[in-house]
Structure formats: structure tokens, C-alpha cells
Amino acid sequence: MVVFACIVNEGYMNIGSERLLCVFNKNADACNYGVTVGVACFLGSICFLVLDIYFPTIHSVRLRRRAALIDMAFSALASFLWLVGFCFLANQWQQTTEDELPLAQGSDAARAAIAFCFFSILTWAGLTALALQTFINLFQNFSLFTDQPDDNTGYRDNARRTPVANGVTVVTTNPYQQAPPFSETLSLDPSTLTPGPVF
């Protein structure tokens, strides 16, 4: 916002004509570049601020990774654009002569715009590093659920053959059910049977 405000407020001058000229070596592209990148990064930062507020409510790991990836890509692009802007504005300001700026008109605003272009490089580079760290943490947390060893393997092997009463072995395929219900067999010894009433 500082770069945008400096260029819009004092980045243009009119010397003996109705046409406004850019203070950066009378190059309109320099002023337009600073204003465009400043507005784009300001709007992008507002959007990602809203995304950061709603980020904890996103339950899908895939959507979280996409949000972190977009944040990282935008921050890296913004840092690169500010680097280009710093080099471009500094070069144009270096070529500006005192004859083109009577009474140093707009010189403070031009220097402030160049300085804050440099600060913006560091700021967006830091945001890129934070977004990268968030992206890596999401992958590590997701791998905890996908790459963990299957602890039920041994349990499945033990649960397949379950001995029960009377020497009968029941083979099950469900690892969570040790023995099916009603698996015990009754002994039908004729000596233990008592005759019932005859009608």
C-alpha cells in the first residue's frame, strides 16, 4: 500500500503541460508497474487473510494442501514481482536527472516507493517460507495416517484360528471377531439323556 500510495499521490508531475509525467525518468511504465503490483498484492493479501481465518475449519486434508500450495505460489510470485519492481524503479530513478525534477518534486515519494519495494521482497519471501512450512507439516501429518504399519496383522493371524470347547477349531475371517456366536458344540452322550414323558 505504501508503494501504491506514494506513486499515486506524488509519483506524477506536470511540467509546463497538462499531461502528467512519471517521476521515474518520465517512464509511465515504471509508475504503472508499481501501482499494478501494489494493488494486486494488496487484494491478494486480503484474500489470503480470509483464507487463514477459515483454514482451521477446513477438514479435508486435500483442500488444506491445495490452499497452502496456492498461498505458497502466490507469495513466491509476489516476492519475484517486487524484486523486479525494485530493480526497475531503482534503475529508472538512477537515470532521472535534476533537470527533470525541478525543486526535487516527488523525490521523497520515489525514494519511499523504492525502499518499500525492497521491504516487500523480504515480507513476501517470509510469507513464502511460512506457507512452505505449512505445506510440509500437512504432508507429515497426513503421512502419519497413511504410512503407519498395520498393527492388526498379527491379530488377524491369531484370530483366524480360534480353539473352542470339545476340540473344535473355528476358522474366522473377521479380525475383530474372535469366535462366532453359538460356536460351542454340545455333547450328545446317550447315558446323560433322560427319557421324557411318552404320550
Digit-coded pLDDT (tens) for 130-175: 989 988 887 776 654 444 444 444 444 444 455 555 555 555 555 5
Whether 153 maps to a domain, the answer reads no
Distances (CA, A) of 33 to 37, 66, 139, 163: 6, 29, 37, 80
Which positions ≥6 away from 110 have C-beta within 8 Å? 6, 10, 11, 23, 24, 89, 93, 96
Question: What's the domain range around 15?
Answer: 2-144
Instruction: Kindly write down the DSSP assignment for every residue of 68-103, as one continuous string.
Output: HHHHHHHHHHHHHHHHHHHHHHHHHHHT--TTTSGG
Whether 43 maps to a domain, the answer reads yes
Which residues are paired to 150 by β-bridges? none
pTM exceeding 0.85? no
Q: What is the pLDDT of residue 33?
A: 93
> Domain tally for the chain?
1
Whether 51 maps to a domain, the answer reads yes
Whether 199 maps to a domain, the answer reads no
Whether 44 maps to a domain, the answer reads yes
Whether 56 maps to a domain, the answer reads yes
Which positions ≥6 away from 84 have C-beta within 8 Å? 33
161-163 and 21-22 as β-strands: parallel, antiparallel, unpaired? Answer: unpaired
Q: What is the pLDDT of residue 58?
A: 84
Confidence of residue 189 (pLDDT cuts 50, 70, 90): low
Whether 29 maps to a domain, the answer reads yes
Whether 140 maps to a domain, the answer reads yes
Number of other residues whose CB lies within 10 A of the CB of residue 133: 12
Lowest mean pLDDT among 81-90, 122-131, 182-191: 182-191
Q: Could you report the per-residue pLDDT of 74-95, keeping only the tens digit for each?
A: 999 999 999 999 999 999 988 8
